[in-house]
């Protein structure tokens, strides 16, 4: 019988499937469609210290084998997430959830994580370090090992739960950034976030989204994600959560062979709200096809 359970930073999960932040809201919308407790967990919508309306529209565009989005971290702010969103989440999801946190300064990250740390529903923090650092000349935290490490240390000081740092692929050397986060105390690494993409409307000769550029995700980026997960998993001793273009049970197995302990599914949820459910249901047959009995045993099993 196929064994789907994995252990992520000390927390056992029924399976490695995690809907990615920004593609699953706070869970209760999907709970109207199916029992979301079949998931390993999910990463809820990126949360910031203050409420954010996000970027101007249009901010989502379809493209070949993927999509571009520049939503801009639209969310109600941490206070309302705690008072309004988490109670609704708790009513339909009975496992530890992953809290995705973004910020525009080190202090923002620390403040938001400290507030959320007191919430019993939260099992892990996923700290997204690809937002602009407005206190540092507009650089992104995730493009500098030093800046990523600074955020990691600040968050670890105010939290008692595992902290995973979510890295951007839009860098020259993602391994050095991952290693800096590990040395600063990170309990795990999530990768990859979206790649930077752009499309132009030939009729108007204007970018198809108001922000000009946005995050490119979808099946087209899967080979890049597998390569980066492999390189990072080889370089660090902490767990890696892989994501980027995952759409099938076979993709999940491939990502785990590359070194991922758990696997997030993002853009596929926006195409098919049952995508994660189908992947979980398909995993046992895929494992049998490739003569695998335990997912835990194939992590980093590339030959």
Average pLDDT, the chain: 94
Helix (H) or strand (E) holding 17: strand 17-19
Task: Write the pLDDT tens digit of every residue in 46-97.
Answer: 999 999 988 889 989 988 899 998 888 899 999 999 999 999 999 999 999 9
DSSP character at residue 136: G
Report whether pLDDT(1) > 90: no
Residues 151-161 have a mean pLDDT of: 98
Measured distance CA(255)–CA(235) in Å, rounded: 16
The first and second tokens of residue 216, run together, are 């490119």
Q: List the beta bridge partners of residue 161.
A: none
Q: By the 8 A CB rule, do 214 and 259 touch?
A: no
Q: Tell me, what's the pLDDT at 133?
A: 34
Helices (H) and strands (E) in the chain, counts: 10, 15
Report whether pLDDT(294) > 50: yes
φ, ψ (nearest 5 deg) of residue 31: -65, -20
φ, ψ (nearest 5 deg) of residue 67: -150, 160
Q: By the 8 A CB rule, do 219 and 65 touch?
A: yes
Does the N-terminal peptide bond of residue 117 adopt cis geometry, omega within 30 degrees of 0?
A: no
Burial of 168 (0-12, 13-18, 19+ CB in 10 A): buried
Task: Write the pLDDT tens digit of every residue in 112-124.
Answer: 999 999 999 999 9
DSSP character at residue 194: P
Orientation of helix 249-257 relative to helix 222-235, angle to 10°: 30
Measured distance CA(255)–CA(242) in Å, rounded: 6
Task: Write the pLDDT tens digit of every residue in 134-155.
Answer: 344 334 788 899 999 999 999 9
Q: Tell me, what's the pLDDT at 134?
A: 35
Question: To the nearest whole percent, how much of the chain has pLDDT over 90?
Answer: 85
Report whether pLDDT(280) > 80: yes
Measured distance CA(190)–CA(194) in Å, rounded: 12
Residues 2-9 have a mean pLDDT of: 97
When comparing pLDDT for 211 and 38, which is higher?
Answer: 38
Which amino acids are annotated catalytic? 131
Q: Tell me, what's the pLDDT at 130?
A: 76
Flag whether the pTM goes above 0.75: yes
Q: Tell me, what's the pLDDT at 70?
A: 86
DSSP character at residue 301: -
Question: To the nearest whole percent, how much of the chain has pLDDT over 70?
Answer: 97
The first and second tokens of residue 47, run together, are 């949360």
Give, in words, the CATH class of 6-54+73-204+218-298.
alpha beta
Q: By the 8 A CB rule, do 222 and 194 touch?
A: no
Q: Tell me, what's the pLDDT at 131?
A: 57
């Amino acid at each position: 019988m196929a064994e789907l359970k994995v252990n992520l930073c000390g927390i056992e999960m029924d399976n490695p499937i995690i809907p990615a932040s920004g593609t699953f809201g706070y869970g209760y919308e999907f709970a109207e469609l199916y029992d979301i407790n079949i998931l390993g967990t999910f990463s809820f919508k990126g949360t910031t210290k203050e409420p954010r309306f996000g970027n101007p529209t249009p901010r989502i565009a379809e493209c070949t084998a993927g999509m571009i989005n520049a939503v801009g971290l639209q969310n109600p702010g941490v206070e309302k997430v705690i008072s309004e969103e988490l109670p609704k989440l708790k009513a339909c999801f009975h496992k530890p959830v992953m809290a995705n946190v973004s910020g525009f300064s080190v202090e923002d990250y620390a403040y938001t994580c400290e507030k959320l740390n007191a919430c019993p529903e939260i099992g892990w923090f996923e700290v997204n370090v690809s937002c602009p650092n407005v206190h540092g000349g507009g650089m992104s935290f995730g493009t500098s090992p030093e800046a990523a490490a600074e955020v990691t240390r600040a968050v670890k000081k105010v939290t008692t739960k595992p902290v995973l740092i979510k890295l951007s692929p839009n860098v020259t050397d993602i391994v050095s950034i991952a290693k800096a986060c590990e040395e600063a105390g990170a309990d795990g690494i999530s990768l990859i976030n979206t790649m930077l993409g752009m499309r132009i409307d030939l009729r108007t000769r204007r970018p198809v989204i108001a922000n000009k550029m946005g995050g490119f995700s979808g099946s087209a980026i899967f080979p890049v994600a597998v390569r980066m997960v492999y390189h990072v998993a080889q370089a660090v001793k902490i767990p890696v959560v892989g994501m980027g273009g995952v759409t099938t049970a076979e993709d999940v197995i491939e990502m785990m062979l590359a070194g991922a302990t758990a696997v997030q599914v993002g853009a596929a949820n926006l195409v098919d709200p049952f995508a994660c459910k189908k992947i979980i249901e398909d995993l046992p047959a895929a494992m049998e096809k490739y003569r695998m009995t335990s997912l835990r045993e194939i992590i980093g099993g590339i030959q």
